[in-house]
């Protein structure tokens, strides 16, 4: 029996630089968050998908296609992404052996990338696995169950990176020879992402 991996999509951000919930931005025939959820659900390497919402949760529930993902809310999303780890871990299937963290504003992480990180963790060693794009470390980022207690004890943003940086001996880096999947934090980021899509058509 293979290890059970839960995908944790972080969609609780306040979108303060947008002035509107960026989770609802139109993207590839759906919404930005809907696209990220779709990638996670299409990844055969994940056994369940959990989406954590925060600001504008009701509006997002009404307008984002979440498929079969379990949706939970983080009432203290203003405390940073560490609070979303806690909300997500509380909702895990009891069988979960690891969580893979996916950013709700990072649409460039595709199912193949998710699957490879999951598969290499399952067949390798290390309690943490993460992708690196031409040497630049990023998401998806996977943490074994043995680290859940440490994850829920973290605080603020970039919290998972604190655990990675403090425990380099636990980290398995999965190299990818492809462009880094940038976050969409500003209108300019979103425009670049949609312009790239238009060029690919």
Query: What's the CA gap between 23 and 14, in Å, rounded?
Result: 10
Closest CA to 64 of 21, 102, 7, 101: 21
Q: Could you read off the pLDDT of 119-146 as tens digits, one per residue? A: 999 998 889 999 999 999 999 999 999 9
CATH number of the domain enclosing 46: 3.90.550.10
Q: Which domain holds residue 91?
A: 5-200
Rounded-to-5 percentages of helix, strand, coil across the chain: 40, 25, 35
Question: Token match 């984002």: residue?
Answer: 64
Query: What's the CA gap between 201 and 191, in Å, rounded?
Result: 16
Q: Where are the alpha helices (DSSP H) in 131-186?
A: 148-152, 159-166
Q: Could you read off the pLDDT of 36-66 as tens digits, one per residue? A: 999 999 999 999 999 999 888 999 999 999 9
Q: Structurally, how many domains does the chain consist of?
A: 1
- pTM of the full predicted structure? 0.92
DSSP code at position 79: G
């Amino acid at each position: 029996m293979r290890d059970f991996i839960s995908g944790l999509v972080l969609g609780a951000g306040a979108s303060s630089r947008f002035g509107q919930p960026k989770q609802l931005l139109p993207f590839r025939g759906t919404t930005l968050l809907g696209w990220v959820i779709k990638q996670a659900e299409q990844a055969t390497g994940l056994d369940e998908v959990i989406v954590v919402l925060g600001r504008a949760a009701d509006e997002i529930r009404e307008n984002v296609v979440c498929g079969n993902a379990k949706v939970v809310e983080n009432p203290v999303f203003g405390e940073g992404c560490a609070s979303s780890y806690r909300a997500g871990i509380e909702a895990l299937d009891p069988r979960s052996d690891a969580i893979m963290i996916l950013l709700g504003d990072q649409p460039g992480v595709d199912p193949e990338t998710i699957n490879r990180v999951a598969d290499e963790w399952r067949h390798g060693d290390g309690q943490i696995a993460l992708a690196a794009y031409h040497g630049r470390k990023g998401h998806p980022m996977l943490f074994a169950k043995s680290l859940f207690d440490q994850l829920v004890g973290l605080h603020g943003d970039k919290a998972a990176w604190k655990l990675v940086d403090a425990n380099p001996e636990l980290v398995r880096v999965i190299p990818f020879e492809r462009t880094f999947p940038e976050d969409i934090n500003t209108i300019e980021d979103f425009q670049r992402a949609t312009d790239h899509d238009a060029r690919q058509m």
